[in-house]
Copies of this chain bind each other. A is one copy, B any other.
């Protein structure tokens, strides 16, 4: 990764584009600087294609560095690369340092505004960049960025000829998929990665409760887990469990077949490494079990050995915009999740929309609209669209809300059974399973077809 990232940083130009704060109203007529990265080293102008990354909830340079696939295929496609940063993240702040100050400033943080940004930016590039006027543009994105890519093609087929939506859970909305599937997949990942691994994690919640019931237990846990902030009461233990749960989820997302640094620096097949510390028999004591959990957590939080303590208020890279995404979840991106402790290794928790809505109202002063995403983006009724690839990894919990079967000839699913979260978008690696190599080859094949279609229709 290190070398590759340097290569990317060297060839990309960082640009800013003045864009409307509000595309859907005319009262707020202000503009802000949206950042995008551009690389034209391999671009065959005039008319060479543009691969356009629809940025998601974080700093765009970080997504750029984790999307080596685009870089690797630029030469063979003669393509220009553009990575557009999503508004309200990274350096693309509509109101500068005030952007997150209250619901008034956050009001323009929606997926519709982001798609409109991308559309206007592409129209502008096409009209101002010599040689780009007739360039077919293909949207590429992973995770929420993949949802945006798919939606971008659905809503603006005049702007992009096709989209690769990698690990895009466009169906993780109310009423579309069972709320428990996500955590089931996390559990399966652990179950297949080591002896009794899922069973011991399932057991650990009660162990935490037992141990944390005394002050001495809380102190022991604080020391055992090398926590930066000591656990002091039952409430802290509750937060501690949430943090652990998120840790296991993150591990499932980044269970890559080689050493990588996406959410955290991690060894190859990190869940296998984690599970080595959790291979107890049923006779294990609470303290023994939690010692194993602690060692497992440290695989995730301290693989490099540089952390002096574990911070339970953070579970992933600071390049992700946690607060912005929380706001989006509290408005449009309502994604029901639930656990039952039977089909998954977590404590049972039902999906409670009302409680979630109340929480959103307290934190942001807004309430989510549960049905809106389904109405505006089509939910499961998307057959009339075209030229979208939905790629999903079998290890990735987000595949639960993804499109994992072909809908039509041109709305296709590519499954990568051994893949975690958008593995296909990453640099190729010697440890890549054959399934991801095949997926990438197929993706490029579709890209070529879409480019050919576009050239044909523009000359006819």
Interface positions of A (Cβ within 8 A of B) = 20, 23-27, 29, 103-104, 106-108, 110, 112-113, 116, 119-120, 123, 155-159, 331, 366-367, 369, 371-372, 375-376, 378-379, 381-387, 457
For A156, list chain B residues within 8 Å (CB): 375-376, 378
Give the distance in Å from the alpha carbon of A107 to the alpha carbon of B24 in the complex.
9
What's the minimum C-beta distance from A330 to chain B, rounded to whole angstroms?
8
Query: Which B residues are CB-close (under 8 A) to A457?
Result: 383
The one of B112, B379, B384 in contact with A24, judged by C-beta atoms closer than 8 angstroms, is: B112
Taken together as a complex, chains A and B put the C-alpha atoms of A331 and B23 apart, in Å, by 11
Interface of chain A: mostly helix, strand, loop or mixed? loop
**By the criterion CB–CB under 8 Å, are B366 and A116 in contact?**
no
Query: Which residue of chain B has its CB nearest to the CB of A157?
Result: B384
Kindly list chain B residues whose C-beta atoms are within 8 Å of the C-beta of A24: 24-25, 110, 112-113
Q: Which residue of the partner chain B has the closest CB to A372?
A: B23
21 A-B pairs with C-beta separation under 8 A: A20-B369, A23-B372, A23-B376, A24-B25, A24-B110, A24-B112, A26-B103, A26-B110, A26-B367, A26-B369, A29-B366, A120-B371, A120-B375, A155-B155, A157-B378, A157-B385, A158-B378, A158-B381, A158-B382, A159-B375, A383-B457
Query: Which residues of chain B have C-beta atoms less than 8 A from A369's C-beta?
Result: 20, 26
Contact A331 B26 (CB under 8 A): yes
Bound-complex Cα distance A367 to B22 (A) = 13
Closest-by-CB residue of B relative to A124 is: B371
Q: Which 6 pairs from chain A and chain B are nearest by CB? A: A158-B378, A158-B381, A157-B384, A26-B366, A27-B107, A24-B24
Alpha-carbon separation in the docked complex, A158 to B377 (Å): 8
Task: Supply 15 further A-B pairs (C-beta < 8 A) apart from A26-B366, A120-B375.
Answer: A24-B24, A24-B112, A24-B113, A25-B108, A25-B110, A26-B331, A26-B369, A29-B367, A116-B375, A120-B371, A123-B371, A155-B155, A156-B375, A158-B382, A384-B386
Docked-complex contact A27 and B376, CB < 8 angstroms: no
CA distance A405 to B366 in the complex (A): 47
Q: Nearest CB to that of A330 among chain B residues?
A: B26
Tell me which residues across on chain B come within 8 A of A26, comparing CB atoms: 103, 107, 110, 331, 366-367, 369
Given the complex, which residues of B lie within 8 Å of A27, measured CB to CB?
103-104, 106-107, 366
How far does the Cβ of A295 sit from chain B's closest Cβ, in whole Å? Answer: 43
Could you tell me the distance in whole angstroms from the C-beta of A110 to the nearest C-beta in chain B? 6
- A121 CB, min distance to chain B CBs, angstroms: 10
**Which residues of B have CB within 8 Å of A382?**
158
Q: Which residues of B contact A155 (CB under 8 A)?
A: 155
CB-based contact A158/B372 at 8 Å: no
Given B104, B120, B375, which contacts A119 in the complex, CB threshold below 8 Å? Answer: B375
* CA of A25 to CA of B156, assembled, Å: 20
**Complexed CA–CA distance, A372 and B31 (Å):** 15
Which residues of the other chain, B, contact A116 by a CB distance below 8 angstroms? 375-376
Bound-complex Cα distance A107 to B112 (A): 17
A107 touches B366 (CB 8 A): no
Note all chain B residues with C-beta closer than 8 A to A103. Answer: 26-27
> For A372, what are the chain B residues with a Cβ–Cβ distance below 8 Å?
23
